Amino acid sequence: MVHVLVVDESPERAEILRDGLRRAGHEVTASLSSPLALLKTIEELQPEVIVIDTESPSRDVLEHLVMVSRHTPRPVVMFATDGAPEKIREAVRAGVSAYVVDGLDPARVKTIVDVAVAHFEDFQNLREQLAQANLRLSERKLVERAKGVLMKTRGLDEEAAYSLLRKFAMDRKLKLSEAARQVIDAADLLGA
């Protein structure tokens, strides 16, 4: 069972949406008529999915979704009547996992939510892989810079500088990048 937060300005459409979600086996944890309390409600109730039904995603809705994506990322399904390509792009950039135009069919809600969750999980996985790759790259740059400092200040070749840096890290039980940061900081302090 997936816990869902519904956001819909229209009480009638919200009830259709809640009914479709319940029939699909999901639990509707809350229903908001405005995105103003979106971030606070997500933090309080911890829904697994957000479903928004709107004529066209307003600037307020999109800004709130950007905040959600930054602070408490969740799969977001948006049902809208506006199928303009620029609106779809804006919504996806704001964190929408599935943008469905004129498709509020209660029989399809489960599949749409499942697809949005899968898409969100894949995207989060890619985001994590990118963050890890960037971290490894920045650590590698630190090591290269520290080797350069050691080569310059101690007159070592690259292999000897690397060995010295590794020994320094091992002796102090530091990661190689942490040792590199200390070497760079010391060189900066001493003006080397």
10 Å Cβ neighbour count for 59?
A: 9
Task: Give the separation between CA 116 and CA 146, rounded to whole angstroms.
Answer: 45
Low-confidence ranges of the chain (pLDDT < 70): 103, 192
Task: Give the separation between CA 21 and CA 8, rounded to whole angstroms.
Answer: 14
Among the four given CATH numbers 1.10.3080.10, 1.10.3720.10, 1.10.10.10, 3.20.20.70, the one describing domain 136-190: 1.10.10.10
Q: What is the pLDDT of residue 60?
A: 85
Instruction: Assess if CATH 3.40.50.720 describes domain 3-104.
Output: no
Whole-Å CA distances, 6 to 22, 49, 131, 153: 12, 9, 31, 62
Summarize pLDDT for 103-142 with one digit per residue, the tens: 677 778 888 888 999 999 999 999 999 999 999 999 999 9
Q: What is the pLDDT of residue 11?
A: 84
Q: In degrees to the nearest 10, what's the CA dihedral of 29, 33, 36, 41?
A: -10
Contact 179, 141 (CB under 8 A): no
Q: What is the pLDDT of residue 169?
A: 96
DSSP designation for 102: S
Q: What is the pLDDT of residue 192?
A: 62
Contact 64, 36 (CB under 8 A): yes
In the chain, where are the structural domains located?
A: 3-104, 136-190
Q: What is the pLDDT of residue 1?
A: 80
Q: What is the pLDDT of residue 54?
A: 87
Q: What is the pLDDT of residue 111?
A: 85
